[in-house]
Structure 1
Amino acid sequence: MKAEDIRKMSAEDLENKEKELREELGNLAFQHRIRPLEDTSRLKKIRKDIARIETVKAQAVS
């Protein structure tokens, strides 16, 4: 997900997307502890997307 796309989203959509990504990250991290994932880069991509959303939300507040 690109920052440009995130900036176009409404505040409610940002909250929903962040919640969805955090749930997915938790599930993948749990699965990775049980059995190594084939694509571990997915964890890093999700963390970066969450960080992008948090950054856009912080910019909107100030």
Structure 2
Amino acid sequence: MQNVNPTVRQFVAPFAPPPATPEEFEALRVRADLEHLQHREASRNHRALVDQVQHNAHMGVWS
């Protein structure tokens, strides 16, 4: 918040989250990484299913 105008800072400060400890920051980072990997895995599975359906349709197989 050091780049924020002092007049604005006094209004924003009550809503700003408290500074995180290194342990809290690491836990947040790990959680974000896990969420990203889970989303990526779901997207990969969906893409594989779409590819399989398209391949089967091309081969004349209806699923």
Please say which structure displays the higher CA radius of gyration.
2
TM-score (ref. length: structure 2): 0.44
Of structures 1 and 2, the one scoring higher in RCO (CA 8 A, sep 6+) is 1
Q: TM-score, normalised by structure 1?
A: 0.44
* Structure number having the greater helix percentage: 1
